[in-house]
Chains A and B, each alone.
Chain A
Amino acid sequence: AQSVAQPEDQVNVAEGNPLTVKCTYSVSGNPYLFWYVQYPNRGLQFLLKYITGDNLVKGSYGFEAEFNKSQTSFHLKKPSALVSDSALYFCAVRDGTGGFKTIFGAGTRLFVKA
Chain B
Amino acid sequence: EAGVTQFPSHSVIEKGQTVTLRCDPISGHDNLYWYRRVMGKEIKFLLHFVKESKQDESGMPNNRFLAERTGGTYSTLKVQPAELEDSGVYFCASSTHTGGAGNSPLHFGNGTRLTVT
Contacts and interface: CB of A to CB of B under 8 A. Distances in A.
Contacts of A34: 105-106
A34 B103 CA distance: 10
Contacts of A95: 101
A100 B56 contact: yes
Contact of A101 (B3, B41, B48, B91): B48
A49 B103 contact: yes
A43 B111 contact: yes
Given A46-B106, A51-B103, A102 B45 contact: yes
Given A43-B4, A101-B56, A4 B42 contact: yes
B45 A45 contact: no
Contact of B101 (A45, A49, A97): A97
Interface residues of A, number: 28
Contacts of B45: 101-104
B67 to A, nearest CB: 15
Contacts of B74: none
A41 interface: yes
A44 B91 CA distance: 9
B73 interface: no
Contacts of B48: 100-101
Interface of B: 3-4, 31, 33, 35, 40-45, 48, 50, 55-56, 58, 91, 93, 101-103, 105-111
Given A43-B4, A97-B101, A99-B101, 19 more contacts: A9-B40, A32-B101, A34-B106, A43-B3, A43-B91, A44-B91, A46-B106, A46-B107, A49-B103, A49-B105, A90-B43, A94-B101, A94-B103, A99-B56, A100-B31, A100-B55, A101-B56, A104-B44, A107-B42
